[in-house]
Structure 1
Amino acid sequence: MESGSGSGSGSGSWHMEKRTNLRGESTARDVENVPEAGCLSIVVLGASGDLAKKKTFPALFNLFRQGFLNPDEVHIFGYARTKISDDELRNRIRGYLINDKSASSEKLENVSKFLQLIKYVSGSYDSEEGFRLLDKEILEHELSKKSVEGSSRRLFYLALPPSVYPSVCEMIRHYCMNKSDLGGWTRIVVEKPFGKDLESAEQLSSQIGELFEEPQIYRIDHYLGKELVQNLLVLRFANRFFLPLWNRDNIDNVQIVFREDFGTEGRGGYFDEYGIIRDIIQNHLLQVLCLVAMEKPVSLKPEHIRDEKVKVLQSVLPIKDEEVILGQYEGYRDDPTVPDHSNTPTFATMVLRIHNERWEGVPFILKAGKALNSRKAEIRVQFKDVPGDIFKCKKQGRNEFVIRLQPSEAMYMKFTVKQPGLEMLTVQSELDLSYVQRYQGVTIPEAYERLILDTIRGDQQHFVRRDELKAAWQIFTPLLHKIDDGELKPLQYQPGSRGPAEADELLAKAGYVQTHGYIWIPPTL
């Protein structure tokens, strides 16, 4: 089922829709009638893996600690092939929940309470026996909470490689769904990468789509859960002074940048299968581009927002080879898990062009790399030069609006002011909203916390829809196939550098003007 046909709402509920159940009977489902309270079973598949231990369980713990997971309603199930006991899984997780020696007694008590909610079930990912046992454990929990049959909520988080998604989803559909189609819900959270190209992504979408309706599928991209990414819609559509500026008449170029100051760090074998474009640009940075470039949605309903994101993706022109620079840091192939003649890029800079009225002629520069000279992720909107510049200050740089996604979350406007003194001299400064200074004492939630909570609430606004995924792969698949076939080669660059010098040359050709002599310094308390 193409996701565009689903009707969403802010609560993630969907209207009466006919489907045929596994017994061939026509059924109707109306999730609007299911209260977002009562028994909730959260199943983490791949519970013994790194993703679950480092991200999923800590996010669930923080939701529990903040009162979003009621211990009287919630039970958490870990499922994996590893044969361990409940206590062994709890002990493995504990170290990721208490990551400092000075943890308060309150936190230690919360950790103990949280761990008692976790039960472990061992089984393979294509085993009827394992999933029947999992269903039996979930049902016992639901009965202990005196849930009305079919009114319970079941959330399955697939912290697993995409290769096992189809078999796991089939097992869930056949053996672990709610016991009645007249109420309750079952939701599936799948992690990226969603395929390796258009064909594999569509195949994966079809396999999962045959088992679950689009409103039940939550394709998680954790960048959409970041605080500053979530702020983009508010910035653009709730502030009058941005509305007339946000177009090709005023904006010269947009950069969306992801930089890491370390290499693959033991993940070389995994990373080499995908490369920096599949790992970062095709999903994370492209999602940010959609929010920067989209038109104002009709409302804040998830489907209205995602409709506008799809329109942006469908307006992106094919990427030109001459507007792509690939790099691979020296020493990458020294990793024993990486092939000696690997063509996988660890760095990429490329220009995307959006063919519509608002953005015609404005280059969107996507840049991502590993083993560079700094670690940051940011959006940099560079405005055009001031016409009739009477202060002769063009050489100092242009106005820029910068949104720092991580670290040191902030947004600041670079602009020109008079330098204090008796002379009429200009200098660049900034208007600065730095979160550590403005929101003292406020803890910014981790992206996974927000997205898991959205899944429980049924809000799909920050998740990738099927047609959105397809449009994203259509943009990048031709380029990726050229890299896979060896037609495009990455340039070597030194670890700790800015990347290949050719990338800066591409930026200059695209119209980006680098500021010299000015550096934004994050404030400290």
Structure 2
Amino acid sequence: MAAVARRRSSSVGLSPVAATELTDSVVIVVFGASGDLAKKKTFPALFGLFKNGLLPRKTKIVGYARTKMTHDEFIDRITQRLNYNKDDQTQVTKVQKFKDIVSYVSGQYDSDEGFIELNKHVVALEDEMQVETRDRFFYFALPPSVFAEVSVHLRKEVYPPGEKDSVRVIIEKPFGRDLKTSRELQDKLSQVWQENEMFRIDHYLGKEMVKNILILRFGNVFFSSSWNRNTISNVQISFKEPFGTEGRGGYFDNIGIIRDVMQNHLLQVLSLVAMERPVSFDSEDIRDEKVKVLKAIAPLDIKNCVLGQYDKSIDGTKPAYTDDETVKPGSRAVTFATIALSIENERWEGVPFILRAGKALDEAKVEIRIQFKDVPRGIFQSIPRNELVIRVQPEEAIYLKMNCKYPGLSTRTLPTDMDLTYHSRYADLRIPEAYEALILDALKGDHSNFVRDDELDVSWTLFTPLLDLIDNDESIIPEKYPYGSRGPASVSKFLSDRGYVRDTAGLYQWPVTRGNL
């Protein structure tokens, strides 16, 4: 594929951003600095890194947007969401010091003038810091429609001049809405940036439990030796939200849950769960294995899907998706999807990988559930299956459901677990926000947890035919499910048909807070 060739050729002989340590100085420019993403995610993440001493020793942060604001107005806007204790004078002082390294430049995205002024401002900051090399870090908290245009102006007016100078560019999703638009975007960006200068951010790859998957799998022989079709029955990766579109129906109507969550977040998690052992922790070795396993996934079939759209809650207090005034009448937008994927390689042949995502469900949860096969019959006539559950959010945890003897004189079995719940085991440690972890990785030049161009190409190649069918075939009508339920009624049979055995007796419920005797 062209994308693969582009990645290989663009990384030849380029070393400035191949670092694994922080540089001594950096100027970080946040584009779209007046928007919600910057206010809610980018600046709080930068402050989190600053507060914990994780930014380069010499750091300046510049906000750039079209909105006309004074410096004080900008500072007031970006500090609204900073996480600190207002009663702790030390933390208040940290906030003030953070404000001191932040500045703002207003300018347009479609003309040179604003970028010329931005470059003058950045050069002045670098001169003030007396930098030896110019390390510039651009964060696009922008809609993808302006990525290419902003990139062209940056390359022309703000790209550092020296051979030893370096640039990093963080690009937010969505990276297109199908294979065609994704390739068009990547082709435009590749004319401006080298592949090793671009960091396509998928914030799920920065979540603590997702980053833990490789260590869990390959750092424990009892898992690595059983991580295959001989012992595993099925794998589920689930994303559940307890709220609907809440006035964002106009946006969501053109996206749907598959584009919003599955093609990116959940597929990234799947690739880490299913990939082969990389030869090293080098970012390219890890991403090579992710691409290989994605290429091994069989084409998606509508017969292996359950599509849903939320209706009113049973008590009538919560609206249906189509009750949203921003949603077009009769919309077939998918707010819930369950898709079974097949990985056609020696390790996973015959093991269903089931992606589930939905809005307006009964709880908020993201988890990976690996269900093992039944133990051989004989001394056991009926015994629950073992399950390894990696709870990504909330309440990060890893627990292994297992069977043990009921305390006392009988030989009755009891389902229990081996539980690593992070907030109790690591009560004194702070788990960083995903954006903090990923921005720090990018500052170090570590691409391990970012999406490579060929990886993006393979994922869209996989999902685009199914999305085109759902979008264009009006006979495909999503199944209604009540707001606040577990999803469409047909999901239980769908999972059962693919080997999942649910504990209908309710003998076990995580977390175990007392003896279930």
Interval containing the TM-score (normalised by the shorter chain): over 0.9
Q: Which moved more, 1:246-255 or 1:502-511?
A: 502-511
Deviation at 1:249, TM superposition (A): 0.6
Amino acid of the structure 1 residue aligned with 2:456: L
Contact 2:204 2:265 in 1 (8 A): yes
- Name the SS for the 2:223 alignment partner: coil
Distance 1:131 1:34 in 2: 30
In the TM superposition, 1:314-463 aligns within 5 A as 314-330=295-311, 331-394=320-383, 397-463=384-450
The list of structure 1 runs, each at least 4 consecutive aligned residues, that deviate by more than 3 angstroms after superposition, is 1-8, 29-36
- 2:59–2:101 contact (8 Å) kept in structure 1: yes
For 1:154 and 1:296, how far apart are their aligned partners in 2? 34
In the other structure, the counterpart of 2:317 is: none
Q: Distance in 2 between matches of 1:339 and 1:7?
A: 44
C-alpha contact (below 8 Å) 1:343/1:486 kept by paired residues: no
Counterparts of 1:405 and 1:296, CA distance in 2: 22
Tell me whether 1:139 sits opposite 2:120 in the alignment.
no
Is 2:28–2:60's contact at 8 Å kept on the other side of the alignment? Answer: yes
2:454 to 463, 467, 474: 467
Q: CA deviation at 1:163?
A: 0.9
Alignment of 1:226-305 (within 5 A): 226-305=207-286
Cα deviation digits, residues 363-421 of structure 1 (max 9, x gap):
00000001100111000000000112412233xx2110000000010000011111112
Q: CA deviation at 1:39?
A: 2.8
For residues 33 and 355 of structure 1, do their structure 2 counterparts lie closer, same or farther at Cα, with a shift above 3 Å needed? closer
Change (3 A) 1:90 1:255: same
Q: Which of the numbers 102, 107, 112 marks the counterpart of 1:128?
A: 112
- Cα offset for 1:314? 0.4
- State the Cα distance separating 1:432 from its structure 2 match: 0.5
Counterpart pick for 2:73 among 88, 95, 98: 88
1:76 equivalent to 2:73? Answer no
Q: Does 1:52 align with 2:55?
A: no
Contact kept, 8 Å, 2:19 with 2:446, in 1: the verdict is no
Distance of 1:268 and 1:472 partners within structure 2 = 25
2:152 matched to 1:160?
A: no
Q: Is the 8 A contact 2:257 2:357 kept in 1?
A: yes
Q: Is the 8 A contact 1:391 1:426 kept in 2?
A: no
Q: CA deviation at 1:523?
A: 5.8
Change (3 A) 1:338 1:241: same
Q: CA deviation at 1:123?
A: 1.2
Checking the alignment, whether the CA contact within 8 Å between 1:187 and 1:217 is kept in structure 2 is yes
Aligned partner letter, 1:166: A
52-61 or 104-113, which deviates more = 104-113
| 1:173 and 2:155 aligned | yes
Secondary structure of the residue aligned to 1:304 is helix
Quote the Cα distance in structure 2 between the aligned partners of 1:113 and 1:146.
Answer: 19
Query: How far is 1:491 from its partner?
Result: 1.1
The 3-state SS of whatever aligns with 2:329 is coil
Q: 1:206-221 to 2 correspondence within 5 Å? A: 206-221=187-202
Aligned residue in 2 for 1:198: 179
Retained in 1: the 8 A contact 2:178–2:460? yes
- Per the TM alignment, residue 423 of structure 1 is displaced from its structure 2 partner at its CA by 2.2
Query: Deviation digits for residues 130-184 of structure 1, max 9, x if unmatched?
Result: 1111111001101111223xx211111000111111111111111110022x111
Conserved in 2, the CA contact under 8 Å of 1:378 and 1:404?
yes
Quote the residue 1:16 is aligned against: 13
CA distance in 2, matches of 1:200, 1:15: 27
CA–CA separation in structure 1 for the residues paired with 2:359 and 2:17: 44
Q: Is the 8 A contact 1:344 1:483 kept in 2?
A: no
Distance 1:314 1:295 in 2: 13
Query: Structure 2-normalised TM-score?
Result: 0.94
Aligned residues: 502
Note if contact 1:372-1:498 (Cα within 8 Å) is conserved in structure 2.
yes
Tell me the secondary structure at the aligned position of residue 247 of structure 1.
Answer: coil
Native 8 Å contact 1:434 1:522 kept in 2? no
Structural RMSD (CA): 2.0
User: How far apart in 2 are the matches of 1:523 and 1:176?
Assistant: 57
Task: Provide the rounded CA distance (Å) in 2 between the counterparts of 1:523 and 1:317.
Answer: 42
* 8 A contact 1:393–1:426 mirrored in 2: no
Partners of 1:346 and 1:321 lie apart in 2 by 16
C-alpha separation between the residues in 2 aligned to 1:211 and 1:196? Answer: 21
Pair 1:480–1:427, CA change in 2 (3 A) = same
Match of 2:314 in 1: none
For the residue of structure 1 that corresponds to 2:490, the secondary structure is: helix
Q: Does 1:492 align with 2:480?
A: yes
* Match of residue 512, structure 1, among 500, 505, 514: 500
Counterpart-to-counterpart distance in 2, 1:485 and 1:320? 15
Distance 2:128 2:472 in 1: 56
Alpha-carbon distance, 1:6 to partner: 4.9
Q: How many angstroms apart in 2 are the aligned matches of 1:522 and 1:131?
A: 57
For 1:63, the equivalent position in structure 2 comes to: 49
CA deviation string 1:335-378 (max 9, x = no partner)? 22111122111110010000000000000000000110011100
Query: Secondary structure, in 3 states, of the residue corresponding to 1:219?
Result: strand
Give, in angstroms, the shift of residue 38 of structure 1.
3.0
Once the two structures are superposed, residues 35-91 of structure 1 have per-residue CA deviations (whole angstroms, 9 ceiling, x without a partner) of 843331101100011110000000000000000124x51110111111111111110
Partner Cα distance (2:105, 2:429) in 1: 37
Give the letter for the 1:484 counterpart.
D
The answer on whether the counterparts of 1:154 and 1:187 sit within 8 Å (CA) in structure 2 is: yes
Q: CA deviation at 1:2?
A: 3.5
How far apart, CA to CA, are the structure 2 residues paired with 1:51 and 1:519? 36
Q: How far off is 1:98 after superposition?
A: 4.6
C-alpha change, 1:34 and 1:227, in structure 2 (3 Å) is closer
